[in-house]
Amino acid sequence: MKPMFNPSLMCMDLLNIKEQLQILNTRADFYHVDIMDGHYVKNITLSPDFCKAIRPVCEIPLDCHLMVTTPDDFIEPLAKAGVGYICPHAETINADAFRIVNKIHSLGCKVGVVLNPATPVSYIQHYIHLLDKVTVMTVDPGFAGQPFIREMLDKISELKALKEEKGYGYLIEVDGSCNERTFGDLAKAGTEVFIVGTSGLFNLDKDLAAAWDKMMDNFNKAVDR
């Protein structure tokens, strides 16, 4: 399977959004949109209104990561904004996971679930077959620039083995410190979608097209392509 890349839009140059999206439209596979409420995590970032504003110039799916205490409040606004994926944290939907998953699908969006570093795959075992994507956090959620938690490589391998054994259709995605130092280990463990932020993409060059080329060169070297 061809590796996929999902740039984190909170890391982009927000003064040049349209120009940067036009560069990424022909290179990326998704746009990762972090939505934080200041409660589930202490930071506040992007929003459904941001998604609505940029959607007309996006040629690939918007992938929304809900770091929020009450994800149900965000589902309909995001669906109306035209996003492709809605991805709450497993810990926030435990009481009504099936209803939330079915609601997101019923509104025409795909469903992802995000696992914090300390949350095991077994936490979502009863509905994992319904998911389009499972995201493994390799840092604690809420802030960029944290160190990579290597114990998560085993969790990625577990998701890969389960997917192959059961024939599940979810994508295996990683969020946190995806860069030249980790690309090789992440790919070997079974990562299919790499969320890239400051260290993996945006800080590599002021010219985003050049930064993308450098990222791909780093990736290819890391996986011996």
34 is in an annotated binding site: yes
The answer to whether the annotation marks 89 as part of a ligand binding site is no
197 labeled binding residue: yes
Q: Is 105 annotated as a binding residue?
A: no
Residue 175 is assigned to a ligand binding site: yes
Q: Are 201 and 11 in contact (CB under 8 A)?
A: yes
- Does the annotation mark 217 as catalytic? no
Distance CA(177)–CA(146), nearest Å, equals: 7
- Do residues 128 and 109 touch, judged by C-beta distance below 8 A? no
Task: Choose, from 34, 37, 63, 132, the residue flagged as catalytic.
Answer: 34
On whether 108 is known to bind a ligand per the annotation, the reply is no
| Residue 106 in marked binding region | no
Rounded-to-integer distance, Cα 8 and Cα 20, Å: 12
Tell me which amino acid residue 79 is: A
Whether 175 is a known active-site residue: answer: yes
The residue annotated as part of the active site, out of 13, 63, 175, 185, is: 175
DSSP one-letter string for the chain: ---EEEEBGGGS-GGGHHHHHHHHHTT-S-EEEEEEBSSSSS-B---HHHHHHHGGG--S-EEEEEE-S-THHHHHHHHHHT-SEEEEBGGGSGGGHHHHHHHHHHTT-EEEEEE-TT--GGGGTTTGGG-SEEEEESS-TT-SSPPP-TTHHHHHHHHHHHHHHHT---EEEEES--STTTHHHHHHHT--EEEE-IIIIITS-SSHHHHHHHHHHHHHHHTT-
Q: Is 185 marked as binding a ligand?
A: no
- Feature table: binding site for a divalent metal cation: 32, 34, 65, 175
Q: Could you give the residue numbers annotated as active site?
A: 34, 175
- Return binding residues: 32, 34, 65, 142-145, 175-177, 197-199
